[in-house]
Structure 1
Amino acid sequence: MGDPKKIRKKYATPSLMWDTIRLQREHSLRENYGLKNLRELWILASELRRVRKNVRDVLAGRTDEQVGKDMIARLSRYNVVKGDAKLDDILVVNVESFLERRLQTVVFRKGMAKSMKQARQLVSHGIISINGRRVTSPGHLVLASEEDSIAYFKPINLEQPIPVAPAPAAAEGAAVEGAVPAETGAVEVEGAKLESSEHSEQEAEAKAEEAQEKAEGQ
Structure 2
Amino acid sequence: MGDPKKHRKKYETPRHPWNKARIEEEKELIKEFGLANKKEIYKMNSLLRSFFLQAKQLITKTGEQAEKERAQLLGRLQRSGLLSSEAGLPEVLGISLKDLLERRLQTMVYKKMLANSVKQARQFITHKHIMINEKIITAPSYLVSLNEELVISFIAGSALSNPDHPERAAVQKKNEAENVELPEKKSKKKEDKKVEKKEGKKTEKKDKKPKKEEKVKESDAKGDAKNKKSESKPDPKKSE
Q: What TM-score results when the alignment is normalised by the length of structure 1? A: 0.69
Q: CA deviation at 1:69?
A: 1.8
Name which of 139, 147, 150 aligns with 2:149: 147
Q: Is the 8 A contact 2:115 2:168 kept in 1?
A: no
Q: 1:159 to 1:149 in 2, by over 3 A?
A: closer
- Equivalence for 2:20: 20
- Equivalence for 2:77: 75
- Equivalence for 1:116: 118
Q: Name the amino acid aligned to 2:82.
A: V
Quote the sequence identity (%).
35
The alignment partner of 2:146 has SS state of: coil
- Equivalence for 2:90: 88
Please state if 1:32 is matched with 2:35.
no
Q: Within 5 Å, which residues of 2 pair with 1:1-218?
A: 1-61=1-61, 64-153=66-155, 154-156=158-160, 157=165, 158=167
- Show CA shifts across 1:97-129 (max 9, x none): 110111100000111111101101111111111
CA distance in 2, matches of 1:125, 1:34: 16
Q: CA deviation at 1:3?
A: 3.0
CA distance in 2, matches of 1:136, 1:34: 15
CA distance in 1, matches of 2:99, 2:3: 37
Q: CA deviation at 1:2?
A: 3.5
Q: Name the amino acid aligned to 1:115.
A: S
Q: Name the amino acid aligned to 1:155.
A: A
Q: CA deviation at 1:82?
A: 1.6
- Equivalence for 2:221: none
Q: CA deviation at 1:95?
A: 0.9
Q: CA deviation at 1:155?
A: 2.7
CA distance in 1, matches of 2:85, 2:2: 39
CA distance in 1, matches of 2:169, 2:114: 15
Q: Which has the larger radius of gyration?
A: 1
Decide which structure has greater helix share: 2
Q: How many residues align?
A: 161
Higher mean C-alpha deviation, range 78-87 or range 62-71: 62-71
Q: What TM-score results when the alignment is normalised by the length of structure 2? A: 0.63
Q: CA deviation at 1:66?
A: 2.6
Q: Name the amino acid aligned to 2:138.
A: T
CA distance in 1, matches of 2:122, 2:90: 33
Which consecutive unaligned segments of at least 5 residues does structure 1 have? 162-218
CA distance in 1, matches of 2:133, 2:54: 32
CA distance in 2, matches of 1:99, 1:140: 10
Q: CA deviation at 1:59?
A: 1.5
CA distance in 2, matches of 1:135, 1:98: 18
Q: Name the amino acid aligned to 2:159.
A: P
Q: CA deviation at 1:80?
A: 1.0
Q: Name the amino acid aligned to 1:100.
A: E
CA distance in 1, matches of 2:147, 2:3: 36
- Equivalence for 1:193: none
